[in-house]
Chain A
Amino acid sequence: MGKKDGNVRMSLQTLRVLEVFLEDLTQQLAGADLHQRCGIASGTLYPILLRLESAGWLASQWESMDPSSLGRPRRRLYRLTSTGLRRAGEVFASFNRGVLA
């Protein structure tokens, strides 16, 4: 069982997703991008994204570019919110303390 942090269950996969967002705070990533970066399967990835979004750690919006110009359907893009940045920082700090202790 993962460690609970508010409404978010802190599993190893959740930490990996957060880690990807923390690498670049300005980036907006679709589920397909996260799958390529983390290697997490869709059955696990999308529930994590929805949990983080419902907890306010992530925000999502549709891709603003015209799908016809892109040649593919528009994607749902996720970005880390300020709340998510703060909470994720706290989570990683607590894990680091736990490891160092």
Chain B
Amino acid sequence: MSRRNEQSRQPDLHGVTHWLIRRAAHRAPESLSSRLEEEWLADLESRTSTLSRLRFGLGCCWATLVIVNDYARSRVPAASSAAAAKGFITLADRNFGYFSLRSGTLFLIAGLHAVIFYGLVTTLSHTHGSATPPNLQNQPVNPVPPETLPPPLPPGMEIKGWTIDIRKLVADVPPKIDVENDVTTQVTETSPEPSTPQAPETPTHVVQQVTGGPGAGFPETADFYPSLSIHLGEEGISTVRVCVGANGRLTSEPTTVKGSGSARLDEGALKLARAGSGHYRATTEDGQPVNSCYALGIRFQLKR
């Protein structure tokens, strides 16, 4: 099949090569044009492979440019002296076409580079100047409906709205202290229906559960803030679901339950959650550490 295609393509490439050579010879100085065409077409016959013939044809095109350039150099002094006698320059060949072509190509390449460089510089400087780009804030790529955020949780699992603020971490606030404060707050926040009248009348023993969270030695968010996100001024909160054993280690791979709107930040949050394995404070029930799963909100925020 491919051989048949190759065979059907060869006559076309054969014609292309002849066309290239004829065109190259036509662009050569008129005194050399017919000779070069015949010479090149004859030498082309020694090439057997299609690729070699095509390379030969392209080489002839390049050779024409060089020959025209050489021809112009050799003719310019003579033309200048003749012009002095006749009062004008008579260069019948396309000598200066090469210069315009080459110069044009060089200017085009230089211009493209300049445009690309200017675009990069202006784009980067613009994004670097604004700390909170409007299109990156509060616009999650894949927004998750709020009702699906806390999926039906199995027994023993509790959602915890833990936040890690980079400003606090950068300011050397001991993470352990934050953990304790937030956990206390969280427990009160997530207590279901605290004002229901049935609560005080419950005859059974109420388990005192304290949801776990990042403990001592938990990595700092700043270490996992993607450098590109810092450069682009991306901020957001990525909510990660972690399952932590009684020993403070992850029992399963953390997953993102609500994106921050930036895939980079979400990935950074997952890396942080993985790196924190062993440094989690386990959830306790009546003071005893137990296995549990909870959501961890990791906030990436730049210093102002």
Q: Give me the interface of A with B, judged by CB distance under 8 Å.
A: 7, 30-32, 35-36, 41-47, 50-51, 54, 72-76
Encoded as 1 (CB less than 8 Å from any A CB) or 0, chain B from 181 to 196 comes to: 0000000000000000
Q: Which chain B residues lie closer than 8 Å to A35 at the CB level?
A: 43, 46
Contact check, B36 vs A46: say whether CB atoms are below 8 A apart: yes
Q: Which chain A residues lie closer than 8 Å to B32 at the CB level?
A: 50
A61 CB to nearest chain B CB (Å): 11
A46 CB to nearest chain B CB (Å): 4
Contact check, B60 vs A51: say whether CB atoms are below 8 A apart: no
Contact check, A73 vs B41: say whether CB atoms are below 8 A apart: yes
Contact check, B60 vs A46: say whether CB atoms are below 8 A apart: yes
Closest to A72 in B: B45
Q: Which of B66-74, B81-89, B104-112, B219-227 contacts A (4 or more CB under 8 A)?
A: B66-74
Q: List 7 A-B contacts (CB under 8 A).
A: A7-B74, A32-B42, A42-B63, A47-B63, A50-B32, A75-B43, A76-B38
Contact check, B63 vs A43: say whether CB atoms are below 8 A apart: yes
Q: Which chain B residues lie closer than 8 Å to A74 at the CB level?
A: 38, 42
CA distance A47 to B59 in the complex (A): 11
B19 CB to nearest chain A CB (Å): 16
Q: A42-B60, A43-B58, A43-B59 are in contact. Are A50 and B43 (CB under 8 A)?
A: no
Q: Which chain A residues lie closer than 8 Å to B14 at the CB level?
A: none
Q: Which chain B residues lie closer than 8 Å to A47 at the CB level?
A: 63, 66-67, 70
Contact check, B70 vs A75: say whether CB atoms are below 8 A apart: no
CA distance A53 to B117 in the complex (A): 46
B178 CB to nearest chain A CB (Å): 69
